[in-house]
Amino acid sequence: MENISVDRTVNTAIMFIELSEGQKMQIQEAKVKISTLEKYCVEYQQEIKELEKSLEEKEFILEDIEEQNKELETELENKAKYIADLETSVTHLWEESEERKSYLEYIDRKCEQYFGIPKQEFQNRYLQWAEERARQLEEQENNRNL
């Protein structure tokens, strides 16, 4: 009976040894897996750092673009105000021109009434006189330059 008990003890010891060798293999496999996972973690952390750095650069670029956009909006608003001012000035000048035109028409009618020269005839004579006077002034200028 002692033999059976020794055999059992030996068998139990062998089982434990086999189990412990199996567990050793599992532990080694687990260590390899853990080591691989640690390498992946390091790689992923590096990638995350690179992505964060890239993201920060993109944020700076976006901030610059946003600032440029604000400057352009301000410039556009200023130009719109300038155009509105110009439109007001043009309208004012147009009205002033119309007033002068009506005054000149009044003068033309009075000249025709007092001098007996029709408006078109007066304009033609004035144009001829102005052209002749311009030629004379040009000749005088050319003679001085010689």
Per-residue pLDDT of the chain (146 residues; tens, 9 = 90+): 555 676 677 777 666 666 666 677 777 888 888 889 889 999 999 999 999 999 999 999 999 999 999 999 999 999 999 999 999 999 999 999 898 888 888 888 887 888 788 878 888 888 899 999 999 999 999 888 87
Residues spanned by the domain of 130: 116-146
Give 108's contacts (C-beta < 8 A, 6+ positions apart): 119, 122
- Specify the pLDDT at position 125: 85
119 in Cβ contact with 108 (< 8 Å): yes
Tell me, yes or no, whether 106 and 131 share the same domain. no
Tell me, yes or no, whether 93 and 131 share the same domain. no
- Specify the pLDDT at position 94: 92
Tell me, yes or no, whether 37 and 74 share the same domain. yes
Q: DSSP for 17-65?
A: HHHHHHHHHHHHHHHHHHHHHHHHHHHHHHHHHHHHHHHHHHHHHHHHH
